[in-house]
Amino acid sequence: MKTEVRVNELSCPFCGNNNYCGVNSSSPCWCFESKIPNALVELLPNKLQHKSCICKNCINSFNTHPAHFKKSIQLKP
Ligand SMILES: [Zn+2]
């Protein structure tokens, strides 16, 4: 099977877990109501910004320990 290189809008760009984004479902996604800190979005490479949702987990850990979160993220190039 061939691996496609594309943005998976269903997985969190930071941790790769399911972000439970409702972008493809009929009900509005939780992320519409959730405030994602700009500083957190800025940690993403440009091409990933506003493409896929960041999961609640990552938002929470960023809010709790921004410095620790920055160290722990492993972005794929
Ligand atoms: Zn995440």
Q: Is 77 inside a domain boundary?
A: no
DSSP-assigned states of every residue in 3-50: PP-S--TTB-TTT-SB----TTSSSPPGGGTSPPPHHHHTTS-GGGTT
**SS3 at position 74:** coil
Q: Is 21 inside a domain boundary?
A: yes
Q: Is 66 inside a domain boundary?
A: yes
Q: Is the pTM of this model over 0.85?
A: no
Tokens of 24: 């493809």
Q: Is 75 inside a domain boundary?
A: no
Q: Which domain holds residue 64?
A: 1-70
User: pLDDT tier at 69 (50, 70, 90 boundaries)?
Assistant: very high
Question: For residue 2, how far is its CA from the centre of ligand 1 (angstroms)?
Answer: 25
Question: For residue 53, how far is its CA from the centre of ligand 1 (angstroms)?
Answer: 8
**Could you read off the pLDDT of 5-58 as tens digits, one per residue?**
566 777 888 888 888 776 666 666 666 667 788 899 899 888 888 777 888 889
Question: For residue 30, how far is its CA from the centre of ligand 1 (angstroms)?
Answer: 14
Question: For residue 73, how far is its CA from the centre of ligand 1 (angstroms)?
Answer: 9
Pick the closest to residue 74 from 19, 7, 27, 15 (CA basis): 15
- What's the total number of domains in the chain? 1
